[in-house]
Structure 1
Amino acid sequence: MAHDTHLPNFVQFPGNVIAQPPCRMLNANQYGFFVKGCISKIQAYIDKTLNVVKSDEFHFKALSAYTLLTFTDIENIASKVPEFRQQGWMQETDIIFWLPIAKMVTKRGKEKVDHIYWYPAFITVNNIYALINGRETWGYNKYLCDYKMPEQGELPNYFELSIDAFQPFSPNTKMAKHKLLEVNLVEQGDEHPVADFVELVKEAFEILKSDTDFFDLDLNAIKQLLDGFVNPQMDQILFKQLPNGDGTKAVYQGVVHSPSIIEKVHSAKIYKHEFDVTVYQLDTFPLAEMFGIEPGVHRALLPFNVVMDFDQEKAFEIISTKGL
């Protein structure tokens, strides 16, 4: 968060596992798949989260019916703050549904895109340290998971995500492990290496712009995307909230921004393989209600792989409401 001089200092006590950001990520092996949902469901999800924190100056809008599903195995993560860097490092795997969204403002009576963000709307991770730090400091909507994904350099033929959940919702249902989704290679094709992150993004947009459901962009938004090619980064936006003691009120609700600064791309490729994403009904995590991704089989668009080093920066508050 931005420095608030009127707030008390955060207490670092023995046994507390909250580390200060920023942190650096080395050898992050990411596979990505665009999966089509429903833009009205995605907008409803944004309205229930980011747009709950009201502003007279701006609101957030879904840009696409597509979500980006990523599986990322990060070999080495550590805080960049010396005090915490000395404690050690960890491996982390993130499986995320990303939503491309715009911060909308009104100028001369017309709505304009002020900034474009990627919203990691639902995240599962493989270790508790990552979950606690991500939720409490940045506001990431993280949950623990079991997963399967290929090792770096292997044929990407199978991915799986399983989660502790209630299925179905019922007073007699005991929480158990359930599969939420899997990704299967159904037809092998070519792999097209690209020189760097910039080229990967450019090629992605060449492919995706032919789909009229993909992006709703004006000239200002397109300029921002092109400017981002010069210094590659993913601008993340997050909905952070903390409940009160009975869970009915929020003592804090805020929208925060945290850039992922890409420091080095080791390799990047776009796959011509065909992948199917199979989604299963889980009442605890209803992807159909959340993003319009119905149970069943979905053909993935623009599968890719990138191996990179990046820094996750501090979270900076855009807007908030604080209770007493």
Structure 2
Amino acid sequence: MSNDLPEYVTHGGALSFPAPIVIEDGSLNGFFIKAEPHKISNLLDRVFHVPSQGKVKYVPIFTYVYMTLGNMPKIYSSTINIGPTTEKELTIWIPAAAVHTKNGQQYIDRLVVFPSCVIVDDPYSLVSGREALGFFKSWGRISGVEDNSGSPQGFEVQTFGHKEIGDQADYHQLLKFEKMTEPGEDHPSLYTLREVFEYLTDILRKRDDIFHPDFKWDLKLFYNLFKDMWEKEFPIALLKQLRDSGSTGAVYQAILESMAQINKFQSFHFLGFYQFSLSPVASLPLEEELGIEPDSSLHLGTRVNLDFQINGGTEIWKA
């Protein structure tokens, strides 16, 4: 960012702190959930392509989204460190590719992830995430993520909002994972990023059906980009915007890419198979935006333990 910026004024108690945001001993419990391909594409276009008037284009890679339910026992800003806080969160990630078109041909520039929905239970994270970084975070309660036994029995997320439009705002159950079976011996724990990368790429080689129809990919290029992303750092695509005080406009609007950096990879574990259920909440319409629906199939849960940080964003486009 420019050194010519005016100094940020703090008064009356600060809740917003700049990157890098450092997370120590974090754990992310993850599930791949089936979504509707055209709805994922429409959401990416609405958030990035339309505001930038076609200058920025991200296309989804998969027909699945990746849900992570995280427990962050120690999180702080390394720029202004007044002490750590804790955070529990739900994030729904859309893996995507930044692309450009030349002579009617689509080319991949880089891989990114877009946090389409983020629910947190910590005020520092809520305010810093929205104001400083551009994460479109909302408020809620997340339970089950604090279970470090290696075999959590379930996870539940409540969001603060409106069950129906016009209702009084309150906490409402949004989604739930209930454990059905253990993972089995064919799902061993992994302790290096290379092992995780090889496991994931083996799945991708066998499952062409999980790729989004809009994603025109070259196998060799995709795996090279995927490998770089896993071994080093990966961009998080964000639409950072600030509302105008008296209209529906935005006084600041920009597309940023913030780098997530893995500082220490600890382990990757399979948790077992879970039943997923989703409850409709009008103020957070996951079915409408992503086409996520509960189904009768079981979902394999995983857990990643790691230290990582979110660095400051680079403006890709600005209004």
Scaled by the length of structure 2, the TM-score of the pair is: 0.91
Give the C-alpha shift of residue 202 in structure 1: 2.3
The structure 1 residue matched to 2:169, chosen from 162, 165, 175, is: 175
**Deviates most, 214-223 or 20-29:** 214-223
Match of 2:260 in 1: 260
Amino acid at match of 2:284: F
Distance change in 2, residues 1:3/1:53 (3 Å): farther
Distance change in 2, residues 1:200/1:152 (3 Å): same
The structure 2 residue matched to 1:48, chosen from 43, 46, 49, is: 46
Give the C-alpha shift of residue 146 in structure 1: 1.1
The structure 1 residue matched to 2:117, chosen from 94, 114, 122, is: 122
Distance change in 2, residues 1:24/1:301 (3 Å): same
Match of 2:139 in 1: 144
Matches of 2:205 and 2:53 in 1, distance apart?
Answer: 31
CA contact (8 A) 2:57 2:100 kept: yes
The structure 1 residue matched to 2:37, chosen from 14, 36, 39, is: 39
The correspondence of residues 60-75 of structure 1 with structure 2, limited to 5 A, is 60-75=58-73
Matches of 2:230 and 2:36 in 1, distance apart?
Answer: 28
1:7-52 CA-to-partner distances (Å, cap 9, x unmatched) read 4332234523322211211000111000010110011111111223
Match of 2:224 in 1: 223
Matches of 1:302 and 1:186 in 2, distance apart?
Answer: 10
Give the C-alpha shift of residue 300 in structure 1: 5.3
CA contact (8 A) 1:26 1:309 kept: yes
SS in 2 for 1:119: strand
Amino acid at match of 2:240: K
Match of 2:197 in 1: 201
Distance change in 2, residues 1:76/1:223 (3 Å): same
Give the C-alpha shift of residue 210 in structure 1: 2.8
1:240 aligns with 2:233: no
CA contact (8 A) 2:257 2:316 kept: yes
CA contact (8 A) 1:162 1:179 kept: yes
Matches of 1:88 and 1:315 in 2, distance apart?
Answer: 23
Match of 2:98 in 1: 103
SS in 2 for 1:192: coil
The correspondence of residues 9-48 of structure 1 with structure 2, limited to 5 A, is 9-48=7-46
Amino acid at match of 1:115: R
The structure 2 residue matched to 1:157, chosen from 153, 158, 161, is: 153
CA contact (8 A) 1:236 1:260 kept: yes
CA contact (8 A) 1:192 1:269 kept: yes
Distance change in 2, residues 1:165/1:20 (3 Å): closer
CA contact (8 A) 1:58 1:106 kept: no
Distance change in 2, residues 1:48/1:166 (3 Å): same
CA contact (8 A) 2:197 2:227 kept: no
Give the C-alpha shift of residue 3 in structure 1: 2.3
Distance change in 2, residues 1:144/1:40 (3 Å): same
**Deviates most, 250-259 or 301-310:** 301-310
CA contact (8 A) 1:157 1:185 kept: yes
Match of 1:277 in 2: 276
1:297 aligns with 2:266: no
1:127-147 CA-to-partner distances (Å, cap 9, x unmatched) read 111100000011101111112
CA contact (8 A) 1:23 1:79 kept: yes
Give the C-alpha shift of residue 109 in structure 1: 3.9
Matches of 1:31 and 1:290 in 2, distance apart?
Answer: 23
SS in 2 for 1:133: helix
1:212 aligns with 2:208: yes
SS in 1 for 2:318: strand
Matches of 2:210 and 2:281 in 1, distance apart?
Answer: 26
Give the C-alpha shift of residue 57 in structure 1: 4.9
SS in 2 for 1:297: coil
CA contact (8 A) 2:111 2:234 kept: no
Aligned length: 311
SS in 2 for 1:42: helix
Give the C-alpha shift of residue 56 in structure 1: 5.5
CA contact (8 A) 1:115 1:221 kept: no
Distance change in 2, residues 1:313/1:299 (3 Å): farther
Identity %: 23
1:57-116 CA-to-partner distances (Å, cap 9, x unmatched) read 5411112110000011011111112xx21x111111121000011111124541111111
Matches of 2:201 and 2:298 in 1, distance apart?
Answer: 15
Scaled by the length of structure 1, the TM-score of the pair is: 0.89
1:175-203 CA-to-partner distances (Å, cap 9, x unmatched) read 22210000111122325111212321321
Give the RMSD, CA atoms, in angstroms.
1.9
**Deviates most, 259-268 or 205-214:** 205-214
The structure 2 residue matched to 1:112, chosen from 100, 107, 110, is: 107
Distance change in 2, residues 1:303/1:202 (3 Å): farther
